[in-house]
Amino acid sequence: MDTRIKITDVTGPYREPREQVFSYDYSIQRASWPTAQAVRVKVAIPEELDVLRVKILGEIAGTPGQQLMISKFLSRHIADEKIRIADADGMLAERRDTVVDPFTGPLDHLFARLDVWAREQRDTLRAEIKTLVGL
């Protein structure tokens, strides 16, 4: 039986109230599920986005508009990878609406996988950002 998830829709980013996170809402489907399920993925701005931005791009400058575009681009790619990590870790195995919290606190052991991904994808992400914002 095919147990892979298929992402059917993504919306966001949204700024969560009272939290320093961006969130994305995914609709995921498995072949064995009768309907798609919702997954909210939260990307912590200081602990995930800012840390990985420096690892991928170094200390860069740019206009506020360029910085906004970079944040939106990177946070979406981080959220996409977080959903793959959460699926591999069994967090999306059951058919129910789920929240994938930032990989801090109780989930900080998962940040290492996100860090490895960032190092492996560094050149690709840099090239895409250069094309997108001209830095």
Question: What would the pLDDT profile of 12-45 be if each residue is shown by its tens digit?
Answer: 999 989 999 999 999 999 888 888 899 999 999 9
Q: In terms of Cα–Cα distance, which of 108, 61, 65, 87 is closest to 7?
A: 87
Question: Is 120 within a domain?
Answer: yes
Asked if residue 81 lies in contact with residue 117, where contact means CB atoms within 8 angstroms, the answer is yes
> What tens digit of pLDDT does each residue of 53-83 get?
999 988 877 788 899 999 999 999 999 999 9
Tell me how many helices (H) and strands (E) the chain has.
3, 4
Structural domain including 48 reads 6-133
Question: Is 76 within a domain?
Answer: yes
Asked if residue 98 lies in contact with residue 24, where contact means CB atoms within 8 angstroms, the answer is no
- Number of domains the chain is built from: 1
